[in-house]
Structure 1
């Protein structure tokens, strides 16, 4: 059955690419993916499956029921784009100004649609159920996963799988890791207020830029002096809004920052220390502050047993296009797939998608692109695992 599935997917490779290129040319931002959701739902019309739309917003949930007893496996693909002006020069580049599929979600959706279609065609050879999660809004907190979960997308589901294509990995390589594999994150915005004045008379003012600069420097002591050296964490200040005139002392400065951590305990500690430094800053400089701190995507933790099953399935399947299966290091970005992993045993793994010429740009770059050969690999990898899972 598995070999038949792989052969069918090979025959449909051109359709996977065609779908990917259509979606790439018609990207939509997180929480605005109305047309993409309609395209996905329309794809399943007339097919022998159950389709739920508007799940947690624009989510689409497809259930493939073999009619035989067995476990239920969910497989997830996201479909939102980013607020980036595309600079790839591709003939199928984005037709929506300022919006771009710069993370591969168009490819995720394309491979998943064709894989789901093929599983539907072969469902009499399966056992149990396959639930396809077409998820919107992965890129923007609070994310689409948590709303879909609240709307019942995991009801009856035993375990969850997901794939991300990676432009930084050679095409043909598949990477996995058990345990914590992607960071949890938080974001914050803080306004530090002093007292404005004339640049010639600093003694009559209270310079918010000086106080805020001290805060920026002090933040890095959290990483260097408050975290265990074996823990992973980072704090980035991405916006420092202190623009003014050269001879005017600013009365207020607004900062925006990003926090990443590989355990929830570390994420909690970083927040505690940020608040403590701000309290000390207020006393030290005589300023006040207004902090808006938001924890969003948790640490993504792969279930050990399920990851072992996934890697064994991949290693024992002869996928001609796969050149290497490796255990990778944890990945710094965050992923709202983590919410599924909090609810059910889950495994999230990676498929290399580096362009054939070896020239690649990182995800979220205006020149980001993928090797479309990676999409067949993703379909076959996920398909092989599904086949093993539903026939074991």
Structure 2
């Protein structure tokens, strides 16, 4: 088959989507554009959870249905000018490559529609809102029925630190358990010259920050991966007033469910200590479980990708992602597999990590991802 037409198509999809990024649950232009492309290809569209939807191409009622997921949301950032295209929406930018993921899905959908006689399954594309910042859309889409009748589900994430033309996949764990927290601490302000009359929320925040770090060293097997990262601390109103309130935000991550439970138990114990010190606290915590690939579906991806890229370009010993992904909910519900698609080009200086600003990628990865999806569907 000659795929040159699909290469150009995929790049055009990606550039439009990159120029028009939208934040989670605000992906109105994004969703409308993607739905229009699917309708042109003859897919049936079903709205699913706010701006989300799924698109079906039916071949036969006797065949199974396999699903492919793409996330649609951008990150809250003003993008610096890149090499090819740049966000035109202030405050939103595709710095994680979700524009690539949608372009891959749309390109795969075009290949499948044009060659539907070769399909060995009915296909469904899940276009999901709000993957970033633990506001995930996967659980809500599942609750609204996006996986009904689906026998297998597949997903990917681009990785610019892997060269284009390679993928990374492994049996079992592919990402961490990840919980994001926001802890508000309320104390009592006083003049800095009379600290004994106040309750210093800033000092207590610093105590907690150090205590959280000590949880990993004091309670977790050093052979296990574990992180508690405090990334934001806001406190204080003036240089001569003790901070009445403070807010700290961060994340808790591990690959092992038991380790994650231990981290969170000691985390909560430290907050209880803060309350015994006289402070009032309020905690918000949200997170995603680890992605755990199923063996049979993992082998299917390896076989499909090997036929396109060669087995030497399939990295099966690549370490799991320490970040988190709500594709984990799809794969807990339905057998499936998730892989990292190389989108970098080290020879030409393209190896920036995800969330870099600007986000630079090798657009040739779009067709590769689309062809792997199409191969999984029988083409």
What's the TM-score bracket when you normalise by the shorter of the two chains? over 0.9
Residues 341-383 of structure 1: per-residue CA shift (max 9 Å, x gap): 1101111101111145124322122211111111111112222
Matches within 5 A, 1:141-290: 141-283=134-276, 286-290=277-281
Counterparts of 1:213 and 1:128 in 2: how far apart (Å)?
Answer: 56
1:339 and 2:307 matched = no
Task: Normalising by structure 2, report the TM-score.
Answer: 0.93
Gaps of 5+ in 1: none
Counterparts of 1:301 and 1:151 in 2: how far apart (Å)?
Answer: 23
8 Å contact 1:68–1:128 — kept in the other structure?
Answer: no
**Alignment partner of 1:326 out of 293, 315, 325:** 315
Count of aligned pairs between the two proteins: 377
Counterparts of 2:192 and 2:41 in 1: how far apart (Å)?
Answer: 71
Counterparts of 1:252 and 1:311 in 2: how far apart (Å)?
Answer: 52
8 Å contact 1:79–1:109 — kept in the other structure?
Answer: yes
Structure 2 counterpart of 1:348: 338
2:212 is paired with a residue whose SS is helix
1:48 and 2:37 matched = no
Structure 1 residues 45 and 279, CA gap change in structure 2 (3 angstroms): closer
8 Å contact 2:184–2:246 — kept in the other structure?
Answer: yes
1:296 and 2:290 matched = no
When structure 1 is superposed on structure 2, of 262-271 and 159-168 the one drifting more is 262-271
8 Å contact 1:196–1:249 — kept in the other structure?
Answer: yes
Counterparts of 1:202 and 1:142 in 2: how far apart (Å)?
Answer: 39
2:285 is paired with a residue whose SS is strand
Counterparts of 2:23 and 2:269 in 1: how far apart (Å)?
Answer: 36
What's the offset of the Cα at 1:163? 1.3
What's the offset of the Cα at 1:258? 1.4
What's the offset of the Cα at 1:227? 1.7
Structure 1 residues 180 and 319, CA gap change in structure 2 (3 angstroms): closer
1:239 is paired with a residue whose SS is strand
Structure 2 counterpart of 1:24: 18
8 Å contact 1:85–1:99 — kept in the other structure?
Answer: yes
Structure 2 counterpart of 1:11: 5
Superposed CA RMSD in Å reads: 1.9
Structure 2 counterpart of 1:130: 123
Structure 1 residues 332 and 270, CA gap change in structure 2 (3 angstroms): same
Residues 111-170 of structure 1: per-residue CA shift (max 9 Å, x gap): 211211221122222233111112221114331211111111100001110111111111
8 Å contact 1:74–1:160 — kept in the other structure?
Answer: yes
Structure 2 counterpart of 1:375: 366
8 Å contact 2:301–2:376 — kept in the other structure?
Answer: yes
Residues 327-346 of structure 1: per-residue CA shift (max 9 Å, x gap): 11010111111110110111
**Alignment partner of 1:364 out of 327, 335, 355:** 355
Structure 1 residues 98 and 194, CA gap change in structure 2 (3 angstroms): closer
What's the offset of the Cα at 1:68? 5.7
Structure 1 counterpart of 2:302: 311
Structure 1 residues 110 and 359, CA gap change in structure 2 (3 angstroms): closer
Structure 1 residues 179 and 146, CA gap change in structure 2 (3 angstroms): same
Structure 1 counterpart of 2:29: 35
2:30 is paired with a residue whose SS is helix
Counterparts of 1:359 and 1:118 in 2: how far apart (Å)?
Answer: 28
1:110 and 2:103 matched = yes
Counterparts of 2:198 and 2:157 in 1: how far apart (Å)?
Answer: 52
Counterparts of 2:360 and 2:82 in 1: how far apart (Å)?
Answer: 10
When structure 1 is superposed on structure 2, of 141-150 and 336-345 the one drifting more is 141-150
